[in-house]
Amino acid sequence: MDEQLFFKKLHGLCTSKEIFDFLSSMEFMSDTMASGALQRISEVEVDDDGLNSPEGVLENEVFRALCFQFEFESSKLSNTGLLNALQALIKLRIDPQSTLMASLLSEGEERLGKGQLTVKHLFALGESLLELEDPSCATLEQIVNHMQKKPIEKWSPREIVMVYKILQVIVREGGQHQDLLNRLNSVTLTIISQLSPKFTSIILNSLVVLHQAQAVCLVTALCKHSVKHIPYFTGDELVNVLEAFLYFGHREQIFTEALEMHVPKSIFTMHPQTVSKVMQYCCRKMILSKPIFDAVAEGFISDADRLTTDQIAAYIIPFGTLNYLPPSASSLFRKLEAVLHARFSLFQPHTLLNLLHSCVLIQRYPVNFLPKIFSPYFLQQLQAQPPGLDRIATSQLTQLFLTVTLECPFYEGPRLFPKYKVKAFFMPHSSLDVHLLKRVKTGLLYLLKKRIYFASEVSTPYFYTVDIEIKLDEEGFVLPAAQREEVHRRIALCVDGQNRFCINSHNLLGEEAIKQRHLQLLGYEVVQIPFFEIESLQNCRKMAEYLQKKIFPHTYGLG
């Protein structure tokens, strides 16, 4: 039987039994035909869970005879027969340490060293090695050295992807191939429209691992290309894409919109780790997507019992960070409380602190768990787990303490020991917009005539820093900022730049919202000066008029 007819019949067979019966009827097979038969067996018998019927395949006499021949006649095989057999046997999970596999790998490496492999065969050997748990870096390095001499422009998307994967392994072990990477990045840019969801994800992941931050054009193009693949990515592929967006600091509105279409429809079938990564992406990029957050809330209510503790935190923390309560908030936090009661001791200390702190940002008070949080035992656990009681952890503990003091007067449990309190909160997302502050101060100077009548960046005994403070006496006259007596009212101006809001939104971030809430409870009159109200004011006079209406809507006087 000639090879063309053989392969036509072979590809019409759908079980290993049919294939073995067919092979038993053959009087003669070339090594290419025999390796093709092994490949067809691997195609019909191997799925994501492995080999379907190991005994039916590995113990079959025909299979064993084929393996025997490949092992002891490896030096006589054609390059195609050798490398196709190697790929098939790896897919069939044959032990890489077996004499059969050692013989085929050794023969492949020998031919590589002698320069006997064509580009097609170099790719086949590279693919086989990548499938092994611990591939030989020296052999992969040899493959790359041979490939560097070949014209990259003629490679297929699959071949380009494989080279990226090989480079990941080599560079991780200290190899340097930036020249090849630069050529590879340039060629990949020209074939982006041909990349499947799988290849798009693999290349983005490789660019992250290989630290290719300078490949801006390629990264941007891949991120845009990934938008159309969102419904078709597997969970792991979507995670790779989101990690690339985070690593390269990339954000695309159309990507967010595509996620908003996909997540609500798929929330009950998506893997929890994929959902966690979507929420991490939204949280880090300050994207308050109500369709995504509402769907994730519903998913949590339904599936919380099967989530890991890290996944629980990943689902919930963004609600606090971005200051959003979904329509199902009451059910969401009832479910969270039930999960915490059942699995409290399983949470890592820092994870638990982050989770409970995020709840108070949106006025969900974990009073049933605070006695444990403020206990010496828990604080010792926090100290022992890296990064220990750093500035972030002590800020969160102090803010929890201040929250129960101001907002939960009924709480009678233990309080935070003074030695764990910070002098000023660490608020990484709420740094002051210096340019905006300068404009507001200029307007205030125009309004109040003298600089002594307001103070900026004022530290308070309550751990918060007030952007601008104005003091008034009992009759409403403005007092010098340095005066301490006869102060009847304190006005706190919150100069809120874009960084204190969710992206493309007028929704304050959680840490700024709780600050303004607490300042009010501490007796300040809080006046918010958001960037979107003043960015169009062209001169000092207009700014002064705006500030007068905001701060002194009725009248004002100078003391």
Predicted confidence (pLDDT) per residue in 158-192, tens digit: 999 999 999 988 877 666 788 889 999 999 999 99
* Paired residues of 508 in beta bridges: 501
Report the C-alpha gap between 217 and 378 in whole angstroms. Answer: 48
DSSP for 8-28?
HHHTT--SHHHHHHHHHT-S-
358: exposed, middle or buried (C-beta count within 10 Å: 0-12, 13-18, 19+)?
A: buried
Contact 160, 154 (CB under 8 A): no
137-146, 157-166, 514-523: the lowest-pLDDT one: 137-146
Query: Which residues pair with residue 472 across a beta bridge?
Result: 478, 489
Number of other CB atoms surrounding residue 86 within 10 Å:
28
> Percent of the chain at pLDDT above 90?
80
Specify which of 168-177, 351-360, 426-435 reaches the highest per-range mean pLDDT: 351-360
The pLDDT of residue 160 is 92
Beta partners for residue 459, in sequence order: 465
Report whether the peptide linkage leading into residue 387 is cis, meaning its omega lies within 30 degrees of zero.
yes
Tokens matching residue 455: 């103070």
**What is the C-alpha to C-alpha distance for residues 217 and 523, in angstroms, rounded to an integer?**
52
Two tokens, residue 257: 């919109």
Angle between helices 79-91 and 119-131 (to 10 degrees): 20
Structure-block tokens of residue 151:
């014209």
117, pLDDT greater than 50? yes
Examine the pLDDT at 558 and tell me if it is beyond 60. Answer: no
Residue 104 backbone phi and psi in degrees, to 5: -70, -40
User: Around Cβ 525, how many Cβ atoms within 10 Å?
Assistant: 14
| CA 510/CA 504 separation, integer angstroms | 16
| Total Cβ atoms within 10 A of residue 375 | 13
Residue 50 — very low, low, confident or very high, per pLDDT cuts 50/70/90? confident
Average pLDDT score over the chain: 93
